Amino acid sequence: MLLPVAGSFYSRTGTSVRKTVGLQLPCLSRSLPATNKRGTTVHNVVISGTGLFTPANSISNEELVQSFNAYVAQFNSDNAAAIERGEVQALSESSAAFIEKASGIKSRFVMDKQGILDPQRMKPNLPERSNDEWSILCEMGVAAARQALQRAGKTAADIDGVIVACSNLQRAYPAVSIEIQQALGVAGYGFDMNVACSSATFGIQAACNSVQLGQARALLVISPEICTAHLNFRDRDSHFIFGDGATAVVVERADLATSSYQFDIVSTRLLPQFSNNIRNNFGFLNRTSDEGQNAPDKLFVQEGRKVFREVCPMVAELVAAHLQENSINITDVKRFWLHQANLSMNHLIVKKLLGRDATVEEAPVILDTYGNTSSAGSVIAFHTYQDDLPQGALAVLSSFGAGYSIGSVILRKR
């Protein structure tokens, strides 16, 4: 089902992108009157503040490789006879140079360092908390939200709801968004949503729609990501990919915004296209089957080459079409805050759009120090590299990942 939204949804058939238009209310396409009566007027919408929570611990490629190679040596030693007989395949070591060349990642922030680097464990050690304590996702989300509120010049009383949009939620219920509402003292409504790495941009469109149509004055979109908890640190091809972090965005009526960090939400576009090439089969039904409960597919798995080959042109095509529909020349876009998954992917996407290599100012990178933080990545780039843009500058916030899912948000600096 397609909802009447500010932007449009896209579907993909074969090799072409087809737009399915809902209610045509692209943000700021014209000047619209504002009123305090909810549900009767279409409002212009801005992002008025962003926030970031960064974990205290960081793991370098060299540290990660030392742990991984220790595991490999132990595995090959323990299975030497079976390897000799051809019954077990020997594992290969990794290297810091391989990781950086394959991904562009040099280090990543993590919620727990010791457990990940222990060759006997190789996963975060995050003890279960009492139900009377904040959950760990709530704690991360609150920290990011408080910074976003401060930058927006808002208090909890100014916010009418919370959307938690991330790739992994630590429990089925109650919703983390409602827990964060209580922690912050936010009234209104809250819900959780998951569109993997595109969760933040999908959440921003949902928030924009609600604010635009008068259902809320302002909403928080929060993306707390503990990606290291669903990563197989024993897999050479993926053990280096993810890091942890959390972001928050205040989406607000333009006529109520007062901050110095405002961006008009010009338009939003979303594209889902089902694919098994990025997948995680962990879920509540796992316990009902006696087979495969701890199999590798209950963590992050991907067909990396297929993802690269298929997703890059889809993202470039969607963003180009989105800009064209809003009568924006690609040369007028001053910045691309892209999903921070792989440096080569970002280079290729922007090159397809610009027809040349992008400068680091045009397509800033935080991947090298944060790793892939899933839905938080593009917003971390936005949060970190926005203050230098001049008034009126146009930019694109875009995420893409499992689903497949792609989100594009056109922004204008106020």
Reading the block at residue 112, the tokens are 């727990």
Instruction: Give the architecture (CATH level 2) of 264-413.
Output: 3-Layer(aba) Sandwich (3.40)
Other CB atoms within 10 Å distance of the CB of residue 242: 25
- Give residue 261's identity as a one-letter amino acid code: Y
User: Would strands 278-279 and 301-302 be described as parallel, antiparallel, or unpaired?
Assistant: antiparallel
Nearest to 328 by CA among 18, 22, 24, 26: 26
- Considering the candidates 197, 208, 227, 312, report the single residue annotated as catalytic: 197
Nearest to 399 by CA among 389, 384, 409: 409
Contact 265, 411 (CB under 8 A): yes
Q: What is the mean pLDDT of residues 142-171?
A: 98
pLDDT for res 294: 83
Reading the block at residue 383, the tokens are 């949060």
* Backbone φ and ψ of 371, nearest 5°: 70, -170
Other CB atoms within 10 Å distance of the CB of residue 39: 8
CA distance 235 to 46: 42
Q: What is the mean pLDDT of residues 361-382?
A: 98
- Contacts of 147 by beta carbon, 8 Å cutoff, 6+ apart: 49, 50, 51, 52, 53, 248
Q: Please tell me whether the peptide bond between 174 and the residue prior to it is cis, using omega within 30 degrees of 0.
A: yes
Q: What is the mean pLDDT of residues 127-135?
A: 97
Cβ-count burial 360-399 (b if 16+ within 10 Å, e if not) = eebbbbbbebbbbbbbbbbbbbbbbbbeebeeebbbbbbb
Q: What is the mean pLDDT of residues 3-17?
A: 43
Q: Provide the mean pLDDT of the chain.
A: 91
User: Would strands 189-193 and 161-165 be described as parallel, antiparallel, or unpaired?
Assistant: parallel
Q: Indicate the DSSP class of residue 293.
A: T
CA distances (Å), 8 to each of 14, 77, 238, 387, 409, in order?
19, 56, 34, 29, 11
Q: Name the percent of the chain lying above pLDDT 70.
A: 90
Looking up tokens 């619209």 gives 32
CA distance 106 to 100: 6
pLDDT per position as a tens digit, 70-91: 999 999 999 999 999 999 999 9
Q: Please tell me whether the peptide bond between 404 and the residue prior to it is cis, using omega within 30 degrees of 0.
A: yes
Reading the block at residue 45, the tokens are 């919408």
> SS3 of 225, please?
strand
pLDDT per position as a tens digit, 264-277: 999 999 999 999 99
pLDDT band at 40 (very low <50, low <70, confident <90, very high): low
- Contacts of 51 by beta carbon, 8 Å cutoff, 6+ apart: 143, 144, 145, 146, 147, 148, 149, 150, 151, 247, 248, 249, 383
Is residue 197 annotated as a catalytic residue, yes or no? yes
CA distance 259 to 156: 15
Q: Name the percent of the chain lying above pLDDT 90.
A: 85
Of 138-142, 253-257, 301-305, 407-411, which range is least confident?
Answer: 301-305
Is the pLDDT at 24 greater than 60? The verdict is no
- Give residue 325's identity as a one-letter amino acid code: E
- 304-325 and 343-354 helices, crossing angle to 10°: 30
Is the pLDDT at 36 greater than 60? The verdict is no
CA torsion 128→133→139→145, rounded to 10°?
A: 150
Measured over the CA atoms of residue 12, residue 16, residue 17 and residue 20, the dihedral's sign is negative
pLDDT for res 41: 80
